[in-house]
């Protein structure tokens, strides 16, 4: 941190000013000229919040994707199908038992088991053959999509959160001042999105700790760096592979339940989330968890802020960010060179 | 020897082909059986099969042979499908397509194949029959703007909602459907104060919901399918409680039969379209029963969607006219087309006849979403407007002056 400021004093100042201005925009009561310029504060604040929570969902999907790629060099294009499967399983569990929370562990375990199956019976047979693995994952995603269409139909599924998570909650962010009484107006925000975001942060921090502070994490990091050397030291690398694939797939399943709660589960969502996680890891850097978090945040914010301030071009914005990152930092923001 | 054998086989094949020609009529069908609109296309085909079943698969003393060709709602897939049906399978005429831009593409294709006839399935773009229509393209369903007829007057006069803001998808069907609403609403004296056009396929509406003005009487929603369900879900989560007005596909079967609680936000929402699920008209009830009897409950919607009705009407019009010409299309379809153009179709959703552009003049229904005793949602009729023309009752020149539907057409803020 210190050395960065010493090395790049001008950039540091610009970043500092930008962050300070953003914080001011979030916490202050907006003056009239700013409202004239970009509209009500409520809209802006909601866009930022929604961007961050959407980023949380993208992070859950993309972190599994990037973890699997980092360790096994396997671009798993069936990752979106695992997300969709998790959503359907979650819907089924939540609607038959009535316990929304139960949907998360069940989806995690079921989809994780599918991941184990895929790793043991499919990918292990073509280890080291990256292109073939990638092509096989495309085939698997098409077959899974058709099987799910057959089993669940083309209907739109919503997973209902319990009633204590329904509706909005008043936050401590000020959006304006009442003209008549001078009281402050506070922002109302859906509780379920806040809870989901908090869960994404907890999972993210947990993963970081697991990777950086435990022995298993050490094994995985060593495998990412050089898996042949790790195997040569006697580590049971196949076990690590299966574990990581199961965990990554399970995360996708978990994300499916989250997605089904504040969006919908339907055919076609698999491709959308595969594309989203591809963009996120390309922006963040393939194989890096921190990169996935930063990429998810950027893409989520871009989508939401774009959707209110320039709706027509909101779709392009995401890809524009990807193009800029690829042009100036092809390995991704947090990716390693080479 | 070999050559002789080949000649015999091909001769036999030709003979059987001509034999088939003589006592059966080949009908090509275009429906979206792949991609996003799969569920809709399937219901369209169910409507077609219902009509064929009622007629015992016969018309004018001849058997009807159906060839179904799948499209994916894109114009080029529709043209590809139509080429296969017309030029390769040599069908006598085509029923279809389903979606708006497909319809426009087939109007242009129809002009290149004057020997065949195309009867529209349910595609609802205004342009298809309004701009440069093809002489052999017939449409027995109303277009998107006609589906909006009567809604504006209803919400202004009966509900007393004087100002609205709109959220709709940014593409041609949503513009057209919205035009039908705005036409009546602006004329009645209502004000449309804010319009938000969102890209088709928007899944996270959080910020758009926050940007909705809170000083309007109601919000018009021109969304469809998954976008509609997502909006409703997130609208509920954000604690929204404004009055809603729905476009035609905002309240159709795909949204009303979605799984979960999101759709409950729609109860009481006024909307409009070419049919009302719970209409007590005997003709409509008969059609609903016929549809329900033709398919087991898990293979159909609880009651026919407007797609099924559209394909049903197109098919029954074709069958009636085939009966009238005794299945004889050898006059270059002249008698068949003449019959279609002058037919007064006694359709389940009201009498339909065609105007000079071979476009339907029909009945439009203003409906409200109600929760039925078994917990499912349906559209209940609250008003019915008969004889809705493509120009929505305006003088044609005046209506053309408005321009084709787009984002900013019909301003009344």
What secondary structure does DSSP assign to A103-148, as a single string? HHHHHHHHHHHHHHHHHHHTGGGGTT-HHHHHHHHHHHHHHHHHHH
Structural domain including A274 reads 56-164+191-328
Measure CA B399 to chain center.
22
Residues of A in contact with B260 (CB under 8 A): 91, 156-160, 264
Cβ–Cβ gap A262/B225 under 8 Å? no
pLDDT exceeds 90 at position A37: no
Contact between chains at B204 and A267 (C-beta distance less than 8 A): no
Q: Which of residues 86-115 of A touch B (CB under 8 A)?
A: 91, 95
Backbone φ/ψ region at A291: left (φ over 0), alpha (ψ -120 to 50), beta: alpha
Distance from CA of A149 to the nearest CA of B (A): 10
What does the pLDDT average to over B235-253? 89
Q: Is the pLDDT of residue A212 over 50?
A: yes
Q: What's the whole-number average pLDDT of chain B?
A: 89
Does any CB of chain B come closer than 8 Å to the CB of residue A41? no
Task: With CB atoms and an 8 Å threshold, state whether B198 touches A167.
Answer: no
User: Does residue A131 lie within any of the structural domains?
Assistant: yes
The pLDDT, as a whole number, for residue B214 is 84
Q: Please report residues of A whose CB lies closer than 8 A to that of B225.
A: 156
Domain boundaries, chain B: 2-142+282-363, 146-273+372-402
Instruction: Among B40, B237, B266, B307, pick the best mutation site for testing chain A contact (most A Cβ within 10 A).
Output: B237
Chain B nearest C-alpha distance from A288 (Å): 26
> Are the Cβ atoms of B226 and A268 closer than 8 angstroms?
yes
Domain contains A334: no
pLDDT at B1 over 60: no
B225 at A interface, C-beta within 8 A:
yes
pLDDT of residue B17: 47
Torsions phi, psi for A177 (to 5 deg): -125, 135
C-alpha to C-alpha distance for B242 and B201, rounded to whole angstroms: 23
**What is the three-class DSSP state of B324?**
helix
Residue A43 to residue B257, Cβ atoms within 8 A: no
A168 and B261: CB-CB below 8 Å? no
Q: What is the pLDDT of residue B10?
A: 56
Instruction: Tell me, yes or no, whether A174 lies in a domain.
Output: no
A chain contacts of residue B198, beta-carbon cutoff 8 Å: 307, 311
pLDDT digits (tens, 9 = 90+) for B37-84: 788 899 999 999 999 999 999 998 899 999 999 998 889 999 999 999
ipTM: 0.83
User: Is A162 an 8 Å CB contact of chain B?
Assistant: no
Report, as an integer, the average pLDDT of B317-326: 94
In chain B, whose CA is at the least distance from the CA of A48? Answer: B207
At B2, the pLDDT band (50, 70, 90 cuts) reads low
Give the model's pLDDT for residue B19.
43
Residues of B in contact with A87 (CB under 8 A): none
**What's the domain count of chain A?**
1
Query: Would you state the pLDDT for residue B11?
Result: 52
Q: Say which of A154, A158, A190 has its CB closest to residue B38.
A: A154
Establish if B376 touches chain A: CB-CB under 8 angstroms: no
Q: Which CATH number fits domain B2-142+282-363: 3.40.50.2300, 3.90.1150.10, 3.40.50.1100, 3.40.1190.20?
A: 3.40.50.2300
SS (H, E, C) B26-43: EEEEEEECCCCCHHHHHH
Q: How far apart are CA B139 and CA B125, in angstroms?
A: 11
Q: Establish if A48 belongs to a structural domain.
A: no
Neighbours of A188 (CB within 10 A): 18
- Equal fold, B2-142+282-363 vs B146-273+372-402: yes
Locate the chain B residue with the closest alpha carbon to A306: B207
Tell me: pLDDT of B23 over 80: no
Residue A1 counted as domain residue: no
- Is A312's Cβ below 8 Å from some Cβ in B? yes
pTM given for the model = 0.85
Tens-digit pLDDT profile for residues A242-287: 999 999 999 999 999 999 998 889 888 999 999 999 999 999 988 8
Average pLDDT over residues A120-140: 89
Beta-carbon separation of A312 and B254 below 8 A: no
Nearest CA in chain A to B168: A311
What mean pLDDT is predicted for residues B350-356?
Answer: 93
- Rounded Cα–Cα distance for residues A62 and A198 (Å): 17
In a domain, A169, yes or no: no
pLDDT tens per residue, range B178-234: 999 999 999 999 999 999 998 888 888 988 998 888 889 999 999 988 889 999 999
Q: What is the pLDDT of residue B18?
A: 45
Q: Residues of chain A with pLDDT > 70: what percent?
A: 99
For residue A56, pLDDT over 50 is answered with yes
A39 phi/psi in degrees, rounded to 5: 95, -175
Chain B nearest C-alpha distance from A158 (Å)? 5
Segment A323-335, tens digit of pLDDT: 999 999 988 888 8
State residue B119's pLDDT score.
96
CA-to-CA dists, residue A263 to A88, A157, A193, A256, A272, angstroms: 13, 9, 11, 10, 12
Inter-chain CB proximity B236 and A47 less than 8 Å = no
Identify each DSSP E strand in B327-376 by its residue range: 344-347, 350-354, 360-371
pLDDT tens digits, A62-80: 999 998 888 888 889 999 9
Average pLDDT, chain A: 88
Q: Quick one: pLDDT at residue A260? A: 93
Q: How many CB pairs under 8 A join A and B?
A: 124
From B46's Cα to the closest Cα of chain A, the distance in A is: 16
* B88 secondary structure, DSSP code: I
More confident: B97 or A154: B97
Chain B residues with CB-CB distance to A303 below 8 A:
204
Residue B3 pLDDT exceeds 70? no
Residues from chain B that touch A306, judged by Cβ atoms under 8 A, are none
Is A113 domain-assigned? yes
pLDDT tier, B173 (very low <50, low <70, confident <90, very high otherwise): confident
The CATH number of domain B146-273+372-402, selected from 3.40.50.2300, 3.40.190.10, 3.40.50.410, 3.40.50.2000: 3.40.50.2300
* A80: closest CA of chain B, how far (Å): 16
Residues of chain B found within 8 Å of residue A264, distances taken between Cβ atoms: 203, 226, 229-230, 233, 258, 260, 262
Report whether pLDDT(B359) > 80: yes
Average pLDDT over residues B126-138: 93
- Per-residue pLDDT, B26: 94
Question: Which residue of B lies nearest to A175 if distances are taken between CA atoms?
Answer: B210
The answer to whether the CB of B279 falls within 8 A of the CB of B253 is: no
Shortest Cα distance, chain B CAs vs residue A322, angstroms: 20
* Cβ contact, residue pair A168, B170, below 8 Å: no
pLDDT for position B8: 54
Whether pLDDT at B20 is above 50: no
* A318 occurs within a structural domain: yes
Please report which confidence band the pLDDT of residue B5 belongs to, taking 50, 70 and 90 as the band edges. Answer: low
Distance of CA B337 to the CA centre of its chain: 21
Are B261 and A160 an interchain contact pair (Cβ–Cβ within 8 Å)?
yes
B307 pLDDT tier (thresholds 50, 70, 90) = very high
CA-to-CA distance for B363 and B353, rounded, in angstroms?
10
**Listed ranges A166-180, B308-322, B364-378; the one with the highest mean pLDDT:** B308-322
Q: Which residue of A has its CA nearest to B224?
A: A156
Nearest to B208 by CA among B199, B217, A193: B199
Say what the pLDDT of residue A338 is. Answer: 46
Average pLDDT estimate for B174-178? 92
- Residue B86 has what pLDDT? 95
CB B120 within 8 A of CB B93: no
User: Nearest chain A Cα to B41, which residue?
Assistant: A154
- B159, B222 in Cβ contact below 8 A? no
Comparing CB atoms, the residue among A189, A266, A314 nearest residue B226 is A266
Which pLDDT does position A147 carry in this prediction? 93
pLDDT of residue A2: 67
Give how far B336 is from chain A: nearest CA, Å.
38
């Amino acid at each position: 941190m210190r050395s960065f400021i010493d090395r790049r004093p001008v950039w540091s100042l610009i970043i500092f000013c930008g962050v300070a201005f953003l914080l001011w925009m979030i916490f202050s009561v907006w003056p009239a000229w700013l409202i004239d310029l970009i509209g009500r504060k409520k809209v802006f604040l909601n866009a930022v919040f929604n961007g961050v929570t959407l980023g949380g969902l993208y992070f859950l999907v993309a972190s599994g994707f990037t973890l699997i790629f980092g360790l096994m060099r396997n671009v798993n294009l069936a990752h979106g199908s695992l997300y969709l499967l998790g959503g359907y399983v979650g819907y089924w569990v939540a609607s038959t038992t009535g316990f929304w929370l139960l949907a998360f562990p069940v989806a995690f375990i079921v989809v994780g088991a599918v991941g184990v199956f895929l790793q043991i019976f499919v990918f292990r047979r073509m280890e080291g053959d990256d292109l073939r693995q990638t092509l096989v994952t495309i085939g698997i995603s098409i077959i899974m999509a058709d099987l799910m269409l057959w089993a669940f139909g083309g209907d739109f599924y919503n997973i209902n959160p319990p009633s204590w998570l329904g509706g909005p909650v008043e936050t401590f962010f000020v959006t304006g001042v009442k003209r008549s009484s001078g009281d402050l107006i506070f922002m109302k925000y859906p509780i379920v999105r806040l809870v989901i975001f908090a869960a994404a942060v907890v999972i993210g921090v947990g993963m970081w700790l697991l990777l950086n502070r435990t022995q298993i994490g050490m094994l995985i990091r060593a495998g990412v760096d050089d898996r042949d050397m790790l195997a040569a030291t006697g580590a049971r690398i196949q076990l690590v592979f299966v574990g990581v694939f199961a965990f990554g797939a399970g995360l996708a399943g978990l994300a499916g339940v989250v997605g089904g709660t504040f969006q919908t589960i339907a055919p076609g969502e698999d491709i959308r989330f595969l594309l989203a996680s591809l963009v996120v890891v390309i922006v963040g850097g393939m194989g890096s968890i921190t990169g996935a978090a930063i990429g998810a945040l950027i893409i989520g914010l871009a989508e939401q802020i774009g959707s209110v301030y320039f709706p027509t071009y909101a779709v392009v914005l995401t890809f524009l960010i990807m193009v800029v990152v690829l042009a100036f930092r092809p390995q991704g923001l947090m990716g390693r060179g080479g | 020897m070999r050559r002789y054998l080949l000649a015999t086989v091909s001769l036999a094949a030709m003979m059987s082909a001509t034999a088939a020609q003589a006592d059966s009529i080949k009908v090509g069908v275009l429906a979206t059986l792949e991609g996003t609109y799969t569920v809709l296309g399937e219901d369209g085909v169910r409507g077609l099969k219902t009509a064929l079943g009622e007629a015992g698969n016969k018309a004018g003393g001849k058997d009807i042979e159906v060839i179904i060709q799948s499209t994916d709602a894109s114009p080029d897939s529709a043209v590809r499908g139509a080429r296969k049906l017309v030029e390769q399978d040599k069908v006598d005429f085509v029923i279809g397509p389903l979606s708006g831009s497909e319809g426009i593409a087939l109007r242009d294709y129809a002009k290149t194949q004057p020997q065949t006839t195309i009867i529209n399935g349910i595609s609802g773009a205004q342009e298809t029959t309004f701009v440069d229509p093809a002489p052999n393209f017939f449409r027995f369903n109303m277009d998107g703007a006609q589906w909006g007829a009567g809604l504006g007057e209803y919400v202004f006069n009966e509900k007393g909602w004087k100002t609205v803001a709109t959220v709709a998808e940014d593409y041609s069907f949503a513009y057209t459907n919205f035009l039908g609403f705005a036409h009546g609403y602006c004329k009645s004296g209502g004000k449309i104060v804010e319009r938000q056009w969102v890209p088709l396929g928007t899944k996270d509406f959080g910020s758009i919901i926050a940007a909705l003005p809170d000083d309007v009487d109601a919000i018009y929603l021109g969304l469809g399918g998954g976008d509609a369900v997502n909006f409703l879900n997130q609208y509920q989560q954000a604690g929204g409680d404004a009055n809603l007005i729905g476009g035609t596909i905002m309240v159709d079967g795909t949204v009303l039969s979605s799984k979960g609680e999101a759709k409950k936000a729609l109860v009481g929402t006024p909307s409009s379209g070419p049919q009302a699920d719970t209409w007590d008209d005997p003709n409509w009830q008969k059609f609903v029963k016929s549809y329900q009897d033709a398919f087991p409950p898990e293979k159909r919607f609880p009651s026919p969607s407007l797609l099924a009705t559209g394909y049903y009407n197109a098919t029954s019009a074709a069958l009636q006219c085939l009966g009238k010409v005794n299945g004889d299309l050898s006059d270059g379809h002249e008698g068949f087309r003449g019959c279609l153009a002058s037919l007064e179709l006694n359709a389940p959703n009201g009498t339909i006849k065609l105007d000079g552009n071979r476009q339907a003049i029909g009945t439009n229904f203003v409906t409200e979403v109600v929760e039925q005793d078994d917990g499912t949602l349906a559209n209940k009729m609250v008003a019915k407007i008969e004889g809705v023309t493509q120009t929505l009752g305006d003088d044609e020149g005046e209506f053309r002056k408005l321009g084709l539907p787009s984002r900013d057409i019909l301003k009344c803020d």
